[in-house]
Amino acid sequence: MITTQPLVSLQHIYKNFEGFQLEDVSIDVYPGEVHVLVGENGSGKSTLMKLVAGWFPPDRGEVYWNGREIHTKSLPDARKRNITYMHQEIQCFENLTVAENLFFRELSRHTRRRGLFDPNLLIAKTEQVFRELSIPIAPNIPFSRLGFAERQMVSAAKSYISDAQLIIFDEPSSAMSQPEREVLFHIIQILKNKGVAIFYISHRLDEITKVGDRVSVLHRGKITGTTSCDNLDESSLIKMMIGEVHKERYPRLPGQRGKVILSVSDLTFEPILKGVSFDLRQGEILGITGLMGSGRTLLANCLFGIISPTGGEIQVGDRAVKFSHPGDAMSNGISLIPEDRHKNGIFPKHNLQRNMTSATLRRFRRKLFLDELFMNELTQQYVDILKIRPGRQNDLIGKYSGGNQQKVMLAKWLMNRSRIYIMDEPTRGIDAASKIDIYNSMNDLVSKGAAIILISSEIEETLGMADRILVLAGGKIARELKWEEASKENIIAAATTED
């Protein structure tokens, strides 16, 4: 359905920020086309798309809409042209229901009967949309109860009901498992068939050929190449992104596993978790995966004291423990890298150093003061190890790209030197090159005797890094798989098994 004239065309765009610039960027997208943007963290993908969406104008260059030059200077300007930006960090009203969030901008148009607001009509319309898209979410529950992947699904449904001519998806599948991604891809295909133009930012190289027509690579604010997604070579794409080919995407470190350092018995949180039991050994990476709503993040929160389970026992070493607060878990040598960095992981109005050292201030205490020199030295070490960019210690984290924010949050907990790390989607929003840095950091931890619970919606990542894999389904462990017997097929089969 691609026409001869682009809907949007950017020509020789320049935009300068402190420490970063878009330089001579030319890119376009046609009606009915999905144009994928890939690149390392901080390469300028989200910055470029925010410019398209009217967050700020270019310093130089031209933007054309259906062949006519336009000057979009604000978000309302963009909305007048039916441009929709689906953010990586979901914009929502926590105190409203799912249905009210879904139709918020169209409440007066879709939810009135005889001139009055009709909540039953709102629920019915939402149920119809979710039924068409196979989204298993109740319309009348508070939005605050949704997990990150569920929020992404509602965001995708918003694009489905919108009148947008151009939709920008920023990492929409970052926390989704495979069945949820298939729903997203189905929505995108419907939008393509309607003639909607789509810019699609992604770090997941495996999905580019599934959704994309063309792909452009950004590297340090420049377009390094644009190519058709037909017969795309992944190694060449990575080389365009980072200048080198990673032969081993998952540098798993095999080795001897030690004694049991965490034991979970019949852990329950009604009505979701139902009798979860497993052991974690010293020097082990234990993978936990499952579909949306299977209880992955809820399990992590129980193990870290964010919520109290309604039943079961947690044992650290040879002692039974009860965590009423995350501080209890930390004092027992447990750290959590949370799923939602924006909500639970960073302080966006504070600088890099304060964010990175916030969980380990006792380590820097010298009598009544903090050892600033030691804080600077250790912060710089983790900046270098994880390749955080720009990496200046006084940078406000709120201005960093999502991937670099993720690295700062990871460094904060690595600095804590825990015995047990619960990593809930640790590579969400991380580019292909930076994932290697994260995996190497995981290997370094287990080589020094720590243990990791890796919770991931990416089956390939779980297969690539975990020594054992637990598959959650309906709040239970549906299957435990050793590394040598695990495969995509038997993980998906276990995850979709119903009682």
Model confidence pLDDT, tens digit, residues 118-172: 788 889 999 999 999 889 899 999 998 887 778 888 988 988 898 899 999 988 8
Beta bridge partners of 315: 263, 320
pLDDT of 62 reads 94
d(Cα 79, Cα 212) in Å, to the nearest integer? Answer: 24
DSSP state of 351: B
pLDDT at res. 202: 85
In Å, how far from its chain's centre is CA 21?
Answer: 24
> Cis ω on the peptide bond leading into residue 271 (within 30° of 0)?
yes
Distance CA 432, CA 217 (A): 13
Task: Tell me how long the chain is.
Answer: 499
Q: How many CB atoms lie within 10 A of CB 350?
A: 14
Rounded to whole angstroms, how far apart are CA atoms 372 and 77? 46
What is the greatest pairwise CA distance in the chain? 71
Contact predicate 455/289, CB 8 Å: yes
In single-letter form, the type of residue at position 355 comes to N
Count each helix (H run) and each strand (E run) in the chain, helices first. 18, 24
The pLDDT assigned to 254 comes to 75
Tokens of 420: 């047990």
- What SS3 state is found at 240? helix
Domains and CATH numbers, the chain: 8-242 (3.40.50.300), 260-495 (3.40.50.300)
| Radius of gyration of the CA atoms of the chain, in A | 23
Distances (CA, A) of 168 to 129, 213, 433, 440, 461: 21, 15, 24, 32, 26
Query: 32 Cβ partners below 8 Å, 6+ apart?
Result: 1, 2, 3, 192, 193, 194, 195, 196, 197
Cβ-contact 36, 212 below 8 angstroms: yes
Burial state string for 261-285 with b = 16 or more CB within 10 A and e = fewer than 16: bbbbeebbbeeebbebebebbbbbb
| C-alpha torsion 109→110→114→118, nearest 10 | -130
The CA distance from 457 to 184, in Å, is 15
Q: How many CA atoms lie within 13 A of 487 on its CB side?
A: 4
β partners of residue 345? none
The residues of the chain scoring below 70 in pLDDT are: 1-3, 18-19, 41, 89, 106-117, 174-175, 238-239, 241-248, 255, 429, 497-499
Q: What is the pLDDT of residue 108?
A: 55
Asked if 194 and 163 count as a contact pair (C-beta separation under 8 A), the reply is no
CA distance 108 to 91: 20
**Model-level pTM greater than 0.85?**
no
